[in-house]
Amino acid sequence: MQIMCLNGWGGALFEAVQAYLQQVRPDVLCLQEVVHSPASNKPWLTYRDGDHKLPQRANFFRDVCEVLPDHAAYFFPAAQGVLWDEDKAIPSQWGLATFVRSDLPIIGKAQGFVHKNFSAHGYGDHPRSRNAHVFKLYDIERDKPIVIAHMHGLRDLAGKMDTPERLAQAERFVHLIQKVADADDPLVVCGDFNIEPSSRMFEVFARIGLRDLVTGRGFTDTRTSHYRKSGRYADYMLVNDRVDVLGFDVVEQPEVSDHRPLLLTL
What's the CATH superfamily of 2-265?
Endonuclease/exonuclease/phosphatase (3.60.10.10)
Residue 39 has pLDDT above 90, yes or no: yes
* Averaged pLDDT for residues 176-193: 98
At 160 the pLDDT is: 95
Cα separation values, 15 from 31, 57, 63, 76, 226, Å: 16, 10, 10, 23, 15
| pLDDT confidence tier of residue 123, bands split at 50, 70 and 90 | very high
Rounded Cα gap, residues 134 and 137, in angstroms: 10
Q: What is the pLDDT of residues 90-102, one digit of tens each?
A: 999 999 999 999 9
At 19 the pLDDT is: 98
* Averaged pLDDT for residues 184-204: 98
Would you kindly state where each structural domain of the chain is located, as residue ranges? 2-265
Question: In this prediction, what percent of the chain has a pLDDT beyond 70?
Answer: 100
At 51 the pLDDT is: 84
| pLDDT confidence tier of residue 18, bands split at 50, 70 and 90 | very high
At 149 the pLDDT is: 99
Mean pLDDT, the chain, integer: 97
Q: What is the pLDDT of residues 129-142, one digit of tens each?
A: 999 999 999 999 99
Residue 44 has pLDDT above 90, yes or no: yes
At 50 the pLDDT is: 83
